A = this chain, B = another copy of it.
Amino acid sequence: MAHHDFSPTHYHTTIGWHDPVLEIDSGDTVATTTVDARGRDHSGERVTPRGNPQTGPFYIRGAEEGDTLIVRFDQLKPNRPWGWTGGQVAANVVDPGFRPVFTDDPKPQFDDDSNPSFLWDVDIDAGTVQLATGDGPMTKTPIKLDPMVGCFGVAPAGGQAISTATSSTNGGNMDYRGFRQGVEVQFPVYAPGALFHLGDGHAAQGDGEIVGTGVEISFDVKFSVELIKGRTIYWPRAIDETWMMTVGNARPLDQCVQHATTEMLAWLTSDEIGLEARTAHHFLGQCVEYDLGNIFDPAYTMVCKVRREQVEALRRS
């Protein structure tokens, strides 16, 4: 149950079988930082090239292929007072051929890599996020600060190293707003030590990440890990106060739903939960909910979720 403070000195833009930056044990906690999607840190300085750079990987002692790694986000806290976003709903999210006409002309104030972007004020004490570019209505109507991690996961199967632009069974760039402080996310372990990476914090984000970004920002993060030996899962799972969740990353969204639903059926009927198949099917049929994670990245994300209290009631019956 050790605590580690870790200051990153380099970052990765693939999630893969990279040399670990720190070895930790199941039960340990790590306090560290992440840079934003373009590699800028708490001071706004670019410290590494763009592309959802990842802090880590962290090696969890004893983790082997076939195990499950649980990561709990104890703290997800923006560590600077501004973020940035894209400003246009992506072409793959609107009807083919649809072209918006923008009549306003606020100059995006933060333009690097030829990707114009819009600045946002992030007020952690007030718990708000507010557009800071131009003078339109979005600059006058704050929205709720709701920090989440866009891209994180463990090393993928078979020695792969996969771009932090996308996601797969090992997690990655899922861009799901439900990955907030307090959530416990479970990953299938493929590599020795699991090799946990994280980065790409958002101060807020709509469903689908449809403008291609949340409010991109750097974070102070605290997370703890737990290793479940010999429990094999096939897609990321998560638990928060209210929900049990399973995650499918693929294209089209239909396939995300197939993966997430199959994983939820597996979970509900596993030794851990113990429902009979018929009960699980009836329960999902009338009570399941789905969230759209992202519909922007190379792999899209859908989340299948059920209420923990309903599952507990069924287990007691």
Contact = CB atoms under 8 A, between A and B. Distances in A.
Interface of A: 13-14, 16, 51, 85-98, 100-104, 106, 118, 129, 131, 134, 136-141, 143, 157-163, 204-211, 213-215, 250-255, 257-259, 261-262, 265, 275-279, 281-292, 295, 300, 302, 310, 313-315, 317
Given A89-B265, A96-B90, A257-B295, A281 B103 contact: no
Given A51-B158, A93-B257, A93-B261, A204 B286 contact: yes
Given A92-B96, A141-B313, A210-B288, 19 more contacts: A89-B265, A89-B284, A91-B97, A93-B258, A94-B258, A104-B279, A106-B278, A118-B282, A138-B317, A141-B314, A141-B317, A160-B161, A161-B161, A206-B284, A208-B290, A211-B282, A211-B286, A253-B253, A257-B295
A257 B209 CA distance: 12
Nearest to A317: B137
A96 B91 contact: yes
B88 A281 contact: yes
Contacts of A313: 137, 141
Nearest to A165: B158
15 contacts: A87-B285, A90-B96, A96-B96, A100-B265, A137-B275, A138-B317, A139-B317, A161-B161, A206-B288, A210-B284, A211-B284, A214-B286, A252-B252, A253-B254, A292-B292
Nearest to A283: B138
Given A205-B286, A265-B89, A211 B257 contact: no
Contacts of A141: 310, 313-314, 317
A282 B85 contact: yes
A281 B143 CA distance: 14
Nearest to A252: B252
A262 B206 contact: no
B138 A261 contact: no
Interface centre among A204, A279, A300 (most CB of B within 10 A): A279
Contacts of A261: 89, 93-94, 210
A98 B269 CA distance: 14
A158 to B, nearest CB: 6
Contacts of A257: 93, 208, 253, 292, 295
